[in-house]
Amino acid sequence: MSTSAPDPLPGLGLVVARYREDLGWLREVGLPCVVYNKGPELDPADLPPGTEVVALPNVGREAHTYLTHIIAHYGRLPRHTAFLQGNPFAHLAPPEEPRVTPAGLRARLLELAALNTPFAGLAWFRLRCDGLGRPHDLADPAKKGRWKGWGKDIPVARIFEALFFSPSPEEFIARASTGNMLVRRERILARSEGFYRRALALVLADPDDADNTGHAFERLWQAVFSGAGTAASGPHDI
């Protein structure tokens, strides 16, 4: 009777895109973690033991962080990777419900990993949009001045076509629109390292998000991690 060899790589790891957020919640989550820091220096004593901290320039939003990590670790990814913003908790439960705690996030990630989930957006909602990211709130007066692309549409269709060399669908259903998600290793490796380098080049061509390229990736992560095939008609939801 033959048995499959055990997975030699860790089962679940976190990748956190941090700017100025307090990362004290990582201690309670208690999972292996790489923090990519684009803001003030972190005190290692404030982080769980063994946390790796990598300094990055403050460009390209979390898409730059996630793509940089995938390229650097392409051949040694854990079975599941949770990609998280520095403060993911505002997006994990509807506003009328109690906020998800770090312990709750840990439990959810472990459950998704135990189910061998291929891809899961962690926000409580999905977004349905057209090729310009509409409807969106990027002209919200409260957000004016936060980044150079304020007030513009989101080039979802253009970035899709640049990534996949395929006509864009008319509609997209974004399942990881807040940039918080869990992805199985095989889903990541279904795309070549060259694909991720091409994606990173698109982000780096718009480092200040003046054209909202980073926002476009927030609406395309489910397509990026859908595997080798892509749909050419909408709504695009894989």
pLDDT at position 39: 96
**Assigned domain for 231 exists:** no
**Assigned domain for 6 exists:** no
- 8 A C-beta contact, residue 154 and residue 147: no
Mean pLDDT, contiguous 10-residue spans, the chain (238 residues): 48 97 96 97 91 97 98 96 96 95 97 96 95 94 91 97 96 94 97 97 97 97 82 36
* Domain encompassing residue 55: 12-224
Question: Alpha-carbon distance 231 to 238, whole Å?
Answer: 8
**Assigned domain for 117 exists:** yes
**Assigned domain for 115 exists:** yes
**Assigned domain for 48 exists:** yes
Strands (E) across the chain are located at 12-18, 33-37, 52-55, 80-85, 119-121, 127-130, 171-174, 181-184
Domains in the chain, number: 1
**Assigned domain for 238 exists:** no
**Assigned domain for 29 exists:** yes
CATH number of the domain encompassing residue 152? 3.90.550
**Assigned domain for 59 exists:** yes
